[in-house]
Amino acid sequence: MSLDEQLTELLAKLGVTLEDNADERSATAEGDEERPTPIPAIAKPDAAYDDELPCADEGPPEVSLFQTSREHYGVFYRLDLIGALPQLRVFLPDDDGMLKMRCYLVRAAPGTPLHEWFLSARTHEGSAAFDDAREVAQQHLLFAVGELMKRLFWHGDLEGLRFAEEIEVLRLV
């Protein structure tokens, strides 16, 4: 089993299905060598997750980003925008358990700028130029908010589940 297949299987157990982008797959023609299909950067859930945090932001994500960490070995992230609210899942290697991984759900705390930025940008009725740029701006803002949520997460106490007041964290796995 290839590394891509192992990762796909592991993510499927956690409720993540990688998109199959036919444009990125290489067709094998006569005389051509078959090349491995790259893992896409966007992930979609195939089932809703069950958590204990109050949630008005359930449903399919509008935007999803899948990233590996450059600063923490073996860590990867899934960043979603669901119902105009950012959610970050942090996957860490772990020696215990069957999956050998831990997963944390990180959400913006109500009443903080992280919680309000997307809502205010979504409800703003501006010019046609703003409307045309809204989707691209939302993607860039999600990336920036994800970076901030990651920093707040890593400055917290994982074992005690104590974090900055701007985020709420729940251990899922």
Q: Which pLDDT band holds residue 78 (cuts at 50, 70, 90)?
A: very high
Cβ burial of 5 (10 Å; 0-12, 13-18, 19+) is exposed
Q: Which pLDDT band holds residue 80 (cuts at 50, 70, 90)?
A: very high
HSE-CB at 41 with a 13 A cutoff on CA atoms is 5
Number of domains in the chain: 1
pTM of the model: 0.63
- The residue ranking higher by pLDDT, 6 or 158, is 158
Domain coverage including residue 134: 3-26+34-171
